[in-house]
Amino acid sequence: MDTGQHLIKEKEPQKVAVEVVLVPLPAQGHLNQLMHLARLISERGIPVHLVGSATHNRQAKNRVHGWDLSSHSNVHFHDFPLPYFPTPAADPDASNKWISHLLPTFEATVNLREPLAELLRSLSRTAGRVAVIHDSLMSFAAKEASSIPNVEAYGFNTCSAIFTLLFLWEALEKPSNPDIETLHKSLNNLSSKDCMTDDFLNFIFQQLETSLLDAGELFNTCRPVEGKFFDLLCQEPYLAANKKQWALGPLNPVAFYSKSTGWESSRHECLEWLDAQPNSSVLYVSFGTLTSLSDKQIREIAFGLENSRQRFVWALKDADRGDIYSNHDQVRRIELPEGYEERVKGVGMIVRDWAPQLGILAHPSTGGFLSHCGWNSCMESISMGVPIATWPMHSDQPMNALLVTEVLKIGVGVREWAHRGEVASSTTIESRIRKLMVSEEGKDMRKRAEELGAAVRQAVSEGGTSTAEWNAFLTHISRPQDIL
């Protein structure tokens, strides 16, 4: 009898201690952070499952940069069907740059709910625990996780801690807190609600209700950048109640650039061009994947760059649609002034395809970044020690810009948020570029940025604060199954 029982036990599948399921919002800045999260978790030997539509999984894989996805065999993609959703282009002439054209895409993701639940039930049979890490705007995943005993959910915040702190404080009708009130005043009393549309605010508040089911919260930030804001955030009753919080960032690779050991087997031509430029002499220009600028504003930027007489690499493409692989014949090609590219040849380079942003920021020739201040771009620039010329467009970007210029003091504002409805002149753009790149004040910003970058890289090194947070989180999700 004993022998028979022993044989039966040997045939039972051995349970994996923990498996992780990632549920990203289908927008590039969100997909990118969850992809980096997948890399870091898989490197610890934990199986990772990334769920989404076939289109958005393809986008995430095609745009991986800074590491080789093919070398991570324990990262698994699950393509779930979505019904038709509109994929209009962004309006380049809109004075409000909010990404309204993507709201149908976000709303369609509720259809991922049932296939996600089926995947979780399947994984829960062979894993001691399944940890679901979902974008904070995909919190339906928390409800599905809550219905299975050995599955638990964690919200992942793709925005800065300072924005999340002030957004929640405003949502809670500004309860008395001298520290937060002083911070808010130092940021020109900027309201996070002014940075989004009412439709999207409603979408966010719907997610907040379900996120109460989360067992904890993860943040792509670190103590050298936002330590005091993260501490204030963790004290907020809404977030702190029965939850753990971890600051794990930056998630992007922070390895130093090397010509001989570059991240890509086939290097982008702009990196080859950067090889020939002096150290810290090039301004990288990019407004992210969700910004569409008017022809008039593009002309002013073009002339501002040309008149500044600074070297530059300009990633010039229109905003992503909900499905970047559809409507190719309708994709807007942004026109530059006649003869422009010929005039700036040798000084400036225009990149119209996908730009390897991490490689550009890590390159020793890059000395500044003209940016919309999305949190991906901020963390990547900061971790590489590159100062920022700020030009926020929407959502958390205005607050990130103030973090860069007023708190960290590693950048200069180009177009202030108060003038967001106006076209910035080439004269203003030129003066701000020159201030960042060649003035004494700009040199001080660069020095502070380099020092902060070194502190951030230390945070993700052995013994660093972010590494300690990572170890604590992975230990937590790998703990023995709770005794009920």
Provide the annotated active-site residues.
30, 135
**Helix-, strand-, coil-residue percentages of the chain, each rounded to 5:** 45, 15, 40
The answer to whether 424 touches 415, Cβ cutoff 8 Å, is yes
State the Cα–Cα distance between residues 1 and 189, nearest whole angstrom: 75
Helix (H) and strand (E) counts in the chain: 20, 13
H/E run at residue 76: strand 75-79
Paired tokens of 181: 């009130």
CA-CA-CA-CA torsion sign (223, 225, 227, 229)? negative
CA distances from 430 to 200, 283, 303, 366, 433 (A): 34, 12, 8, 18, 5
Give the β-pairing of 311-315 and 411-413. unpaired
DSSP 134-189: EETT-THHHHHHHTSTTEEEEEEE-S-HHHHHHHHHHHTT----HHHHHHHHHTTT
Paired tokens of 240: 């702190």
DSSP 115-140: HHHHHHHHHHTTEEEEEEEEETT-TH
The answer to whether 20 touches 45, Cβ cutoff 8 Å, is no
